A = this chain, B = another copy of it.
Amino acid sequence: MSIIFSRKCEYGIQAVLLLTVEEEGGGVHSAEEIAGRLKIPKEFVSKILQELAVNGIIYSKKGKSGGFSLAKSPKELKLLDVVLAIDGPEMFNRCVLGFPNCSDKSPCPVHHKWSQLITQTFEMLSDETIDQFKQKTLNKIESIK
Contact = CB atoms under 8 A, between A and B. Distances in A.
B88 A1 contact: yes
A97 B6 contact: no
A59 interface: no
A44 interface: no
| Contact residues on A (Cβ < 8 Å of other chain), bracket | 35 or more
Nearest to A7: B98
Per assembly, the copies of the chain total 2
Interface string A108-145: 11100110010011100010110011001000100000
A32 to B, nearest CB: 19
A30 to B, nearest CB: 20
A120 B113 contact: yes
A128 B109 contact: yes
Interface of A: 1-7, 9-11, 13-14, 17, 83, 86-88, 90-91, 94, 96-100, 107-110, 113-114, 117, 120-122, 126, 128-129, 132-133, 136, 140
10 contacts: A1-B90, A2-B90, A3-B94, A4-B91, A11-B98, A14-B97, A99-B136, A109-B129, A110-B129, A113-B120
